[in-house]
Chain A
Amino acid sequence: MTDQTFQDYANQVYGWAYRLLGRHHDALDVVQDVFLKWSQQCAADRPDKPRGWLRRVTLNRAIDLIRGRSAEAGPARIDTAGSLSPHLVEPLDASELRLDIAASLERLSEAQRAVLIAKVYDELTFSQIAEEMDLAVPTVKTHYLRALAGVRDRLRRRWADEVLP
């Protein structure tokens, strides 16, 4: 039932979206979109592994939003001025880092992205991820390493600019 799925996973969906977007209200928009899609596609035929489905759809939707932002504003900065209250604003360094990470996630495959988020933020084991995504464990590990390398390649520019103490 949709309401129960919402109860069970709303926080996680919000969290995945927020990790990429860094903006509370954008993340809420993603939550709405994802559960709308859920209610349209899955209410009658619920996926065996709802969390895997929700994570994949959430990340794709968040990436779509990031692409939309880039198209609208060129090289984007997180719009802290447009945030709604001070407790929702994160420091500029953090928002720039989040943007770099989001930009690198955009270049990963859907599977690499999902594995990385499941491992780094959800802290699932490789076996759990493999089961959730219907993949072999060695494949999950390969996705994980490639995803990390993809993000690293993007962050290297940032690291090169950092002044060492």
Chain B
Amino acid sequence: MNCSEFQTLMADALGDELSSHDRPAFDDHLAACAGCRSSCASLARVITSMRGLPGPKRVVLRRDANRLILEEADAPPRTSRPVRLAAIVRYAASVLIAFTAGYALHAGVTLTAGTPPAEVTAVPGATAPQAATLQSSLARTVARNAGKSDLAQCLIAMSHRRN
């Protein structure tokens, strides 16, 4: 086996797919050629480095009423500052409120900016007029996406908020 032939088998070897038929010739060349050995070893080291990094936590999908929530499995109770996930959960709740408001609007009930429902103040940092605007905006967003799944609506609403 020459170096060019070795190169064609290197992907198989580095991908743990080298056949038993090719293995002896590959190993022979590996032992004989310092250049190919060095090249192969450095690429193998890349794989080892990548696999050696701490992997992701397992996440779970939790369904709570009409909400779909992605969170860590086996996460310890959070006692530190509020986390984004908690904000997402709160926000999902506000989406449900907005969704209800959307139905109310559809049914002919009028919402005025000065009298937002008390629940809207659960949106962090929002003043009453801002909350009413946000609620109205959310109601429009949700109404626009009526018929999509609850997950899609949550995702759209969360994206809307981030932007």
A-B contact count (CB 8 A): 124
> Per a CB cutoff under 8 Å, which of B10, B51, B68, B149 touches A145?
B10
How big is the B interface, by class?
Answer: 35 or more
A11 within 8 A of B: yes
Asked if B155 and A39 sit within 8 Å, CB to CB, the answer is yes
Nearest-neighbour CB distance to chain A for B65, whole angstroms, equals: 14
How big is the A interface, by class?
Answer: 35 or more
CB-CB < 8 A to B42: which residues of A?
152, 156
Nearest-neighbour CB distance to chain B for A104, whole angstroms, equals: 9
- A7 and B50 contact, Cβ closer than 8 Å, known pairs A145-B43, A156-B42: no
- A151 and B46 contact, Cβ closer than 8 Å, known pairs A14-B56, A25-B83, A28-B85: yes
The stretch of B74-82, B96-104, B107-115, B135-143 that contacts the partner chain? B74-82
Asked if A39 and B151 sit within 8 Å, CB to CB, the answer is yes
Asked if A24 and B61 sit within 8 Å, CB to CB, the answer is no
28 contacting pairs across A/B (C-beta < 8 A): A1-B149, A2-B148, A3-B68, A3-B151, A11-B59, A18-B56, A24-B72, A25-B85, A28-B70, A31-B70, A32-B155, A39-B148, A84-B78, A84-B80, A85-B76, A85-B80, A88-B57, A94-B54, A97-B49, A98-B53, A120-B51, A125-B17, A126-B11, A126-B15, A141-B12, A144-B14, A148-B46, A152-B42
In the A-B complex, the 10 residue pairs with the smallest Cβ-Cβ separation, listed nearest first, are A18-B56, A141-B11, A39-B152, A36-B155, A15-B56, A148-B43, A151-B46, A90-B54, A14-B59, A152-B46
Hey, which bits of chain A sit against chain B, CB under 8 A? 1-3, 6-7, 10-11, 14-15, 18-19, 22, 24-25, 27-29, 31-33, 35-36, 39, 43, 84-85, 87-88, 90, 94, 97-98, 101, 119-121, 125-126, 141-142, 144-145, 148-149, 151-152, 155-156, 159
- A35-B151, A144-B15 known; 20 new pairs, CB 8 Å cut-off, are A1-B149, A2-B148, A2-B149, A3-B68, A7-B61, A11-B59, A14-B56, A18-B55, A19-B56, A24-B72, A28-B84, A36-B152, A39-B151, A39-B155, A85-B80, A94-B53, A125-B15, A126-B11, A144-B14, A148-B46
